[in-house]
A and B are shown apart, each in its own frame.
Chain A
Amino acid sequence: MGQTITEKILAHAAGKEAVSAGDNIWVNVDTLMTHDVCGPGTIGIFKREFGDDAKVWDKEKVVIIPDHYIFTKDKHANRNLEVLREFAQEQNIKYFYDAFSKSYKGVCHVALAEGGHNRPGEIMFGTDSHTCTAGAFGQFATGIGNTDAAFIMGTGKLWVKVPESMRFEVEGDIPDYVLGKDIILQIIGDIGVDGATYRAMEFTGSGIYNLSIEERMTICNMAIEAGGKNGIIAPDSKTEEFVKSRSSKPYTLFLSDNDARYVKTITYKGKDLEPVVAKPHSPDNMEKVSTIKGENIDRVYIGSCTGGKIEDFKNAARILNNNEVKVDTFIVPSTVMVEAFLKEETLNGKSYMDIFSDAGCKIAPPSCAACLGGPADTFGRTKTNEKVVSTTNRNFPGRMGSKASSVYLASPYTAAASALTGKITDPRDYL
Chain B
Amino acid sequence: MTPRPGDELPVHTVSLVNADHMKIVALLLRDSNPIHFDPDAVRRAGLGDRLVNQGGATMAYVMNLLIAWAGSRAAIRRISCSFRGNVLAGDDVVVSGRVTEVEETPDGSLVTAEVWADVVGGRRAVLGEATVLLAGNPA
A binds B: no
List A residues at the B interface (Cβ < 8 Å): none
